Amino acid sequence: MSRLKRITSTTRAGWHSFLRRRTAVFFTFFFPVIIVAIFAGLVQTQPTGGGIFAEPPAYYIPGYLAVVVLFTPLSRVGSEIARHRDGNQFEKLATTPLKRWEWLLAQTLVNVVVIGLAGLLLLGLTVVVTGVSVPLEPATLLLIPFVAVGVALFCGIGALLGNFADSQDGVVAASNAIALPLLFLSETFVTPDLLPSWFRPLVGLSPLTYFARGVRGLTYSGDAIGAVVTNLAILSVLALVFFAAGAVTIPRTD
């Protein structure tokens, strides 16, 4: 079997495995509804009154998208690795031609599709609920690679968590411990001026910051295309690094 067929068949199997878990399907797509209902409501209550939600609603589009791009890959890939380890699946995979990075790539492709659909739903709900307008320009199509690369990056980090956590519960706990600080300290919902001056340079250490800056440049601030592409390039390099690290640490046997 060729490499392309191995990846394709593994991706197809991962997609059907996701669809069979009805609870996972429900909450994957219901989660954006909750996020928009809660956060968009809060944004509209204080449009100019100061505090965290003092910016116009469109400012927070990167934050809404970051929720699904960040949380879902971390928990899904990490839990999948923990589940495979508990079920001795890696021992079985070691007897096949499928390589570790091919398996992780297949899991990543499934997540790109799932989260891409969830992100599209979230973006549509944001437009309907808050009344914001997303620029309909050719450059706006860069949202697609931003979401895809962001998902790949956090799939790599999720793989690392799945390998180092000792159980599925440990993966969930570790995912939340990493995701929650990143979500609010990466120029998503909290503007840099609200952070202590000594902490602001550290925001650049978060990979989610480059996702937020790039998406905001496309949907709100109208940044030059060069600045948007620079953020996408940085995000892509980080995605390659974390994907490679996650693939290397996937166990060959249990």
Has residue 43 got a pLDDT over 80?
Answer: no
Domain definitions of the chain by residue range: 3-249
Choose the most confident range, by mean pLDDT, from 18-22, 114-118, 231-235: 231-235
Are 238 and 153 spatial neighbours (Cβ–Cβ below 8 Å)? yes
Distance CA 15, CA 1 (A): 20
Mean pLDDT taken over the chain:
85
In this prediction the pTM is 0.89
Distance CA 55, CA 48 (A): 7
Could you give the C-alpha distances from 156 to 41, 84, 213, 225, in angstroms and in order? 33, 16, 21, 27
pLDDT given at position 51: 57
DSSP code for 40 = I
